[in-house]
Amino acid sequence: MSEKEVTYAGQKTREARLKATIGSQKELAEKAGIAASIISDLERGKRPMSPTWARRIVGVVGVGWADLMD
C-alpha cells in the first residue's frame, strides 16, 4: 500500500493536536503551514489526508504516521 492509499482518521488528528497542547485548529494550521480550513476539513473527515499534509502535521504534533492512521 502506498502512502497515498492510507486512510487517516480526523479524530486521531484532533487527538494528536490536543495532546501536543495545540488548542486550536488555527494554531496547528499556522505551525504546519496548512490552511485552517484544511485542518478543519481533515479533523471532520471531510477531506482525505495527503502525505504532504501528514508530514507537516506529524512534524508539529510530534507523533508518527501510524498515530494518524485509521
> Buried b vs exposed e over 42-66: b needs ≥16 C-beta within 10 Å?
bbeeebebeeebbebbbebbebeee
What would the CATH number be for the domain defined by 3-68?
A: 1.10.260.40
38, three cell numbers: 484544511
Tens of pLDDT along the chain (70 residues) come to 445 545 567 889 999 999 999 999 999 999 999 999 999 999 998 998 888 999 999 999 999 888 887 6
pTM: 0.83
What would you measure as the largest C-alpha separation in the chain, in angstroms?
A: 33
**What are the extents of the domains in the chain?**
3-68
